[in-house]
C-alpha cells in the first residue's frame, strides 16, 4: 500500500544492474512508485532496463565508467527527478562517500547511515567494535598487517591455520587460508593484489593513486565451520529486529552458491543466542534498514563468532522472504521513508536458494556467452537478470539468476529443488545447474550436516 510517507520516495533510482535491479524495480512499482534504472552500454538489452519506468545510460561497460561513477549516477537522479536511491548490493552499496553524496544532493539514501557503513566496512574496525559490544569474535589481528613481516608475526601469535583477507574487500575476493608461513606468503601476496584492485576500482581508474600498504586482516581459521548469517532490520525508532538466519555454507572460492533457511546446523538455543548477538551488533552502530550479520558456526560445539557485517540488502535475501512472508525491499523503503513498520515474522517451513552462475560446473571458471535457450521452471521463485536472447558479458559477476524453492520441511524443499533444477533450461553460456543437481544428490548436503568445505570435498 502506498502511504503518504512512502509516496515521498518516488521516483526511486536503482543504482545497480541485473537480477537485483529487476527485483527492486518489482517492489518499487508494486508500491505505486516510479522506478528509474541506470545502465552501462553492455547492459542496454537486459530486462531491468525495459522494466523500469525510465532508464538512463551511464557509459561504458567498465564499472568504473558506469555503475561506480558517482557523478554520473547522481546526474541521472537529477535528470529524472528521482527522490531516493536504492544501491542494491555490490558496486556503490557499501560506499560511504556515495551514501553521503546522495544525502547531500537532497535525496533519500535507502540504506544505513554513511557512518554505520564506514564503521562496518573496515573489517578490522568492525571486529573490534563487535568485541566491545559483547559479540563473540575469532582470535585475530586488531591492527592491520601492512607488510608480510607483520603478518608472519601475527600468524605466529594467532596460530595456524589462518584466514587471510583484505580489510576493505568483499565477496570472498582475495581471501585464502594459510596453513604455514610459506602459505602465508602466497596468501598475503594474493590479498595485497586484491586490495590494490579494490582501491583502483573505488577511485574510478586509480591512475596516480599512491597506495599505502594494503590493510590485511588475519583470523584463526575454523576448519569445519558453517557460515550462518542473521538478517536484521533497524527501525527509525531505534529498535533492531532479527529476522532469522540463513545458512550459506555451500561455497566455492569463499563465495556462496546455495543458501537455506533455517540452518540445519543451528539448534534453537544457539539460534536464540545468535539472533540476540545480531541485534546487539546492529544497536552498537545505530543501524537503520536491512543488514546482515555474518557468523562462523562451529556446529560440533554449537558456538559462533562474528565474521563481518554487510550493510545492505543481501543477494540471498529471498530465502528469508520465503520463510517469513516479508518483502525486505518494501521494508527497506518504508524504513527509509521514516516509517516504523510492524514486522510480524513467524518463520515457517524451509527455503533454499541456488545461485545460477555462468560458469562451468566442474572447475567453476567463468563462461559468459549469448543465451540461446532460457526456460524457467514453474513452481519456483526465479529472480533472474536475463531472458532468452540476452548476452552474459565478462564485465560483471557471473550471477544469472537465483532459483528459490520453498517446502513445509527441508526434505520437501529438497524434493522441489530437484524438480526445479531439472526444469530450468539454460543454453549458451556455461552454467552450474549440473552442479546444483549433483549437490541435491550429495549425501552430506541432504543430511544437513555439512560445512564450508563441502564443495571442496565434492571436487577433490
Partner 1 sequence: MAEVHAEMVANVWKVVVKEGDTVEDGDTLVILESMKMEIPVLAEDSGVVAQLKVAEGDVIQEGDLIAVIE
Residues that bind partner 1 (CB under 8 A): 171, 173, 193, 253, 358-359, 365-369, 393-398
Q: Select 45 or 379, whichever has its Cβ closest to partner 1.
A: 45
Q: Select 274 or 433, whichever has its Cβ closest to partner 1.
A: 433
d(CA 281, CA 277): 6
Verify whether residue 252 is a known catalytic residue: no
CB of 360 to partner 1, least distance (A): 9
Query: Do residues 334 and 6 lie in contact, with contact meaning Cβ atoms separated by under 8 Å?
Result: yes
Task: Please give the C-alpha separations between residue 69 and each of 16, 20, 38, 311, 419, in angstroms, as whole numbers.
Answer: 12, 19, 11, 20, 42
Cell 578490522 belongs to residue:
124
Q: Select 188 or 396, whichever has its Cβ closest to partner 1.
A: 396
Query: How does DSSP assign 404-460, residue by residue?
Result: EEEESSHHHHHHHHHHHHHT-EEESS--SHHHHHHHHT-HHHHHS---TTHHHHHT-
Q: What is the phi-psi region of residue 254: left when phi exceeds 0, alpha when psi lies from -120 to 50, beta otherwise?
A: left
Q: Select 183 or 349, whichever has its Cβ closest to partner 1.
A: 183
Q: Residues 83, 312, 355, 416: which is the catalytic one? A: 312
Report residue 68 as a C-alpha cell.
561506480
3-state secondary structure 55-87: EEEEECCCHHHCCCCHHHHHHHHHHHCCCEEEC
Q: What are the phi and psi torsion angles at 224 (to 5°)?
A: -95, 70
CB of 205 to partner 1, least distance (A): 12
Report residue 239 as a C-alpha cell.
529498535
Report residue 111 as a C-alpha cell.
540504506
CB of 393 to partner 1, least distance (A): 8
d(CA 38, CA 69): 11
Query: Do residues 74 and 103 lie in contact, with contact meaning Cβ atoms separated by under 8 Å?
Result: no
Task: Please give the C-alpha separations between residue 284 and each of 239, 281, 305, in angstroms, as whole numbers.
Answer: 11, 5, 16
Q: Select 253 or 459, whichever has its Cβ closest to partner 1.
A: 253
d(CA 77, CA 110): 14
Query: Do residues 281 and 135 lie in contact, with contact meaning Cβ atoms separated by under 8 Å?
Result: yes
What three-state secondary structure class fits 341?
Answer: coil
Question: Does an H or E element contain 375, and which?
Answer: strand 373-375
CB of 365 to partner 1, least distance (A): 6
CB of 398 to partner 1, least distance (A): 4
The pairs formed by 303-307 with CB atoms below 8 angstroms and a separation of 24 or more are 303/136, 303/270, 304/136, 304/228, 304/270, 304/273, 304/274, 304/277, 305/136, 305/137, 305/138, 305/222, 306/126, 306/127, 306/130, 306/135, 306/136, 306/137, 306/138, 306/277, 306/281, 307/138, 307/227
Q: Select 42 or 258, whichever has its Cβ closest to partner 1.
A: 42
d(CA 303, CA 266): 9
CB of 426 to partner 1, least distance (A): 16
Q: Select 11 or 429, whichever has its Cβ closest to partner 1.
A: 429
Q: Select 152 or 177, whichever has its Cβ closest to partner 1.
A: 177
CB of 21 to partner 1, least distance (A): 17
Query: Do residues 46 and 390 lie in contact, with contact meaning Cβ atoms separated by under 8 Å?
Result: yes
CB of 48 to partner 1, least distance (A): 18
CB of 42 to partner 1, least distance (A): 11
d(CA 206, CA 192): 15
Q: Select 63 or 114, whichever has its Cβ closest to partner 1.
A: 63
Q: Which residues are catalytic?
A: 312
Amino acid at each position: 500500500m502506498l502511504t503518504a510517507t512512502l509516496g515521498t520516495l518516488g521516483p526511486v533510482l536503482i543504482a545497480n544492474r541485473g537480477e537485483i535491479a529487476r527485483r527492486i524495480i518489482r517492489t518499487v512499482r508494486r508500491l505505486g512508485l516510479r522506478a528509474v534504472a541506470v545502465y552501462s552500454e553492455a547492459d542496454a538489452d537486459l530486462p531491468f532496463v525495459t522494466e523500469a519506468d525510465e532508464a538512463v545510460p551511464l557509459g561504458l561497460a567498465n564499472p568504473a565508467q558506469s555503475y561506480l561513477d558517482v557523478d554520473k549516477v547522481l546526474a541521472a537522479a537529477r535528470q529524472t527527478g528521482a527522490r531516493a536511491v536504492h544501491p542494491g548490493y555490490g558496486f556503490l552499496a557499501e560506499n560511504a562517500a556515495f551514501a553521503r553524496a546522495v544525502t547531500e544532493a537532497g535525496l533519500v539514501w535507502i540504506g544505513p547511515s554513511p557512518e554505520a557503513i564506514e564503521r562496518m566496512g573496515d573489517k578490522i574496525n568492525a571486529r573490534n567494535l563487535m568485541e566491545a559490544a559483547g559479540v563473540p569474535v575469532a582470535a585475530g589481528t586488531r591492527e592491520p598487517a601492512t607488510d608480510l613481516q607483520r603478518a608472519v608475526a601475527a600468524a605466529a601469535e594467532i596460530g595456524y591455520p589462518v584466514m587471510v583477507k583484505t580489510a576493505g574487500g568483499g565477496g570472498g575476493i582475495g581471501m585464502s587460508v594459510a596453513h604455514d608461513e610459506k602459505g602465508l606468503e602466497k596468501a598475503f601476496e594474493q590479498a595485497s593484489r586484491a586490495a590494490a584492485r579494490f582501491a583502483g576500482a573505488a577511485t574510478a581508474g586509480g591512475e596516480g593513486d599512491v597506495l599505502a600498504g594494503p590493510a590485511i586482516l588475519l583470523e584463526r581459521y575454523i576448519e569445519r565451520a558453517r557460515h550462518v548469517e542473521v538478517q536484521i532490520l533497524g527501525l527509525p525508532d531505534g529498535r533492531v529486529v532479527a529476522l532469522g538466519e540463513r545458512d550459506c555454507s555451500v561455497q566455492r572460492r569463499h563465495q556462496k552458491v546455495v543458501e537455506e533457511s533455517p540452518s540445519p546446523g543451528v539448534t534453537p538455543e544457539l539460534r536464540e543466542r545468535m539472533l540476540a548477538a545480531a541485534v546487539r551488533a546492529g544497536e552498537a552502530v545505530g543501524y537503520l534498514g536491512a543488514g546482515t550479520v555474518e557468523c562462523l558456526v562451529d556446529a560440533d560445539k554449537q558456538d559462533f563468532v562474528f565474521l563481518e557485517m554487510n550493510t545492505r540488502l543481501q543477494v540471498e535475501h529471498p530465502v528469508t522472504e520465503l520463510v517469513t512472508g516479508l518483502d525486505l525491499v518494501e521494508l527497506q523503503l518504508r524504513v527509509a521513508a521514516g516509517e516504523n513498520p510492524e514486522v510480524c515474522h513467524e518463520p515457517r517451513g524451509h527455503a533454499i536458494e541456488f545461485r545460477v552462475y555462468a560458469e562451468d560446473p566442474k572447475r567453476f571458471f567463468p563462461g559468459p556467452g549469448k543465451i540461446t535457450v532460457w526456460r524457467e521452471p514453474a513452481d519456483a521463485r526465479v529472480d533472474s537478470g536475463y531472458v532468452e536472447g540476452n548476452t552474459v558479458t565478462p564485465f560483471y559477476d557471473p550471477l544469472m539468476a537465483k532459483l528459490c524453492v520453498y517446502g513445509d520441511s527441508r526434505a520437501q524443499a529438497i524434493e522441489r529443488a530437484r524438480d526445479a533444477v531439472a526444469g530450468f533450461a539454460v543454453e549458451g553460456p556455461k552454467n552450474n545447474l549440473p552442479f546444483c543437481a549433483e549437490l541435491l544428490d550429495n549425501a552430506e548436503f541432504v543430511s544437513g550436516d555439512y560445512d564450508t568445505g563441502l564443495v571442496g570435498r565434492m571436487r577433490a
